[in-house]
Amino acid sequence: MKKPSRSLALTIVIALMLAACGGSGSEADPASCELDQVDGDLNFYNWSEYIDPELISAFEEEFGVGVTEDFYESNEAMLAQLQQGAVYDLVVPSDYMIGIMIDEGLLHEINDEAVPNLVNLDPKFNELPYDPGPEYSAAYQFGTTGLGVNLAVVGEDFTPSWALIFDPELTTTFPGGVSVLNDPRETMGAALKYLGYSLNDTSLENLEEARDLIAAAKDGIATFDSDQYDEALVNEEVAVSHGYSGNMIVAIGEAEDPDQFAYVLPQEGATFWIDNMAVPTSAESPCTAFTFMNYLLDVENGATLTNWNYYGSPNKASVDAGLIEQEVVDFYADTFTAEDLEIIEDTGDYEINFTDYLAEAKS
């Protein structure tokens, strides 16, 4: 499933070449895009292992365009690239990052005429605080962030706690140690939850405590990784991996002995997140981006997406049609109402502290 990412430099070169030969559609007005209109190839910036490659191939064939997909490890890394001038037509930011990008004027409003399949989304995804309406984004998938555990190492009767990655008295006894996400809000948030705080806590004193917790845990942390943490777990390179639900479930299901591993949500609480499709204002093929967005929100394509990556689907039409595997539907059924789950919120000017403090903890 893993696809090698191309460098940012290569992506920009490709974009410039397309512009030179008239294929970029850089003059397009996103507000005038029509249904199924394409105005150039698609530069797609996404999380890794998040879309069935066959969906992309089918889109390329149906609409006669190419798709270049690059990957990022965190919302902050994606935002930094766009702020520095990287050219992408479609991105997949998480909840809180959508609000930040709207505030910074980095996103086009969605052209509803070009994306009629928005009606397939569950209405509850139209009532989210980071983009009411919504106006700038369309829900892609949702899920949780927890821990993948090798039961052969940790034992069957372990306590599901963030201690499994932050307590060096435990982690230094695990062969290979543990893997922790290279993501400021997720990892600082997990440390805050372990300490009994909200992952949206804005006390510098509490954030310093979380930073020091991570720094003290480094002897047991083998890697800060947001890409191959699932493979590291099932290949028994680490005993515990901090990561996202769908990737964990797929990796465990494909392991030689799936019963050897488990995905759990720590008792102190965990992250519930919603990823969204959005079109940057720097997009050179915005009409193609809207067409791809509409394509992924199709009833059948929406089901194909979820049945491949095992994340929660916001596509109510796909769920109602019975096209999504029932075990996936059941797994995420209570996500929205679970009291021990918390969604990451935009903390405004305080955001930079999460990035800075994680960097300090890792140094």
> Contacts for 247-254 with beta carbons within 8 Å, 24 or more apart?
247/49, 247/309, 248/146, 248/148, 249/310, 249/331, 250/1, 250/49, 250/309, 250/310, 251/148, 252/148, 253/310
Looking at residue 127, what is its pLDDT? 85
Pinpoint the alpha helices (H) of 107-217.
151-154, 163-166, 168-171, 184-194, 204-216
Residue the block writes with tokens 């089918």: 58
| H-run or E-run covering 148 | strand 138-150
Q: 312 and 332 in contact (C-beta within 8 Å)?
A: yes
Sequential pLDDT tens for the chain (363 residues): 333 333 333 333 333 333 333 333 346 799 999 999 999 999 999 999 999 999 999 999 999 999 999 999 999 999 999 999 999 999 999 999 999 999 999 999 999 999 999 999 999 998 889 999 899 999 999 999 999 999 999 999 999 999 999 999 999 999 999 999 999 999 999 999 999 999 999 999 999 999 999 999 999 999 999 999 999 999 999 999 999 999 999 999 999 999 999 999 999 999 999 999 999 999 999 999 999 999 999 999 999 999 999 999 999 999 999 999 999 999 999 999 999 999 999 999 999 999 999 999 999
In angstroms, rounded to a whole number, what is the distance separating the alpha carbons of residues 69 and 48?
9
The encoded tokens of residue 22 equal 């008239």
Q: 160 and 153 in contact (C-beta within 8 Å)?
A: no
Residue the block writes with tokens 């997949």: 92
Q: Where are the domains of the chain?
A: 8-141+274-331, 143-272+340-362
Q: 183 and 243 in contact (C-beta within 8 Å)?
A: no
| H-run or E-run covering 245 | helix 245-253
In angstroms, rounded to a whole number, what is the distance separating the alpha carbons of residues 355 and 80?
12
Architecture of domain 8-141+274-331: 3-Layer(aba) Sandwich (3.40)
C-alpha pair distances (Å), 331 with each of 40, 197, 325: 38, 26, 10
Q: Taking the mean position of all CA atoms in its chain, how far away is CA 193?
A: 20
- Topology alike, domains 8-141+274-331 and 143-272+340-362: yes
In angstroms, rounded to a whole number, what is the distance separating the alpha carbons of residues 239 and 222?
10
In angstroms, rounded to a whole number, what is the distance separating the alpha carbons of residues 354 and 351?
6
The answer for 348, left when phi > 0, alpha when psi is -120 to 50, beta otherwise, is left
Residue 159: other Cβ atoms inside 10 A = 11
Architecture of domain 143-272+340-362: 3-Layer(aba) Sandwich (3.40)
Burial environment of residue 356 by CB neighbours within 10 A (0 to 12, 13 to 18, 19 or more): middle
Q: 243 and 148 in contact (C-beta within 8 Å)?
A: yes
What does 253-307 look like in DSSP terms, one character per residue?
HTSSSGGGEEEE--TT-EEEEEEEEB-BTT-S-HHHHHHHHHHHTSHHHHHHHHH
In angstroms, rounded to a whole number, what is the distance separating the alpha carbons of residues 225 and 347?
24
Q: Taking the mean position of all CA atoms in its chain, how far away is CA 228?
A: 14
Looking at residue 27, what is its pLDDT? 62
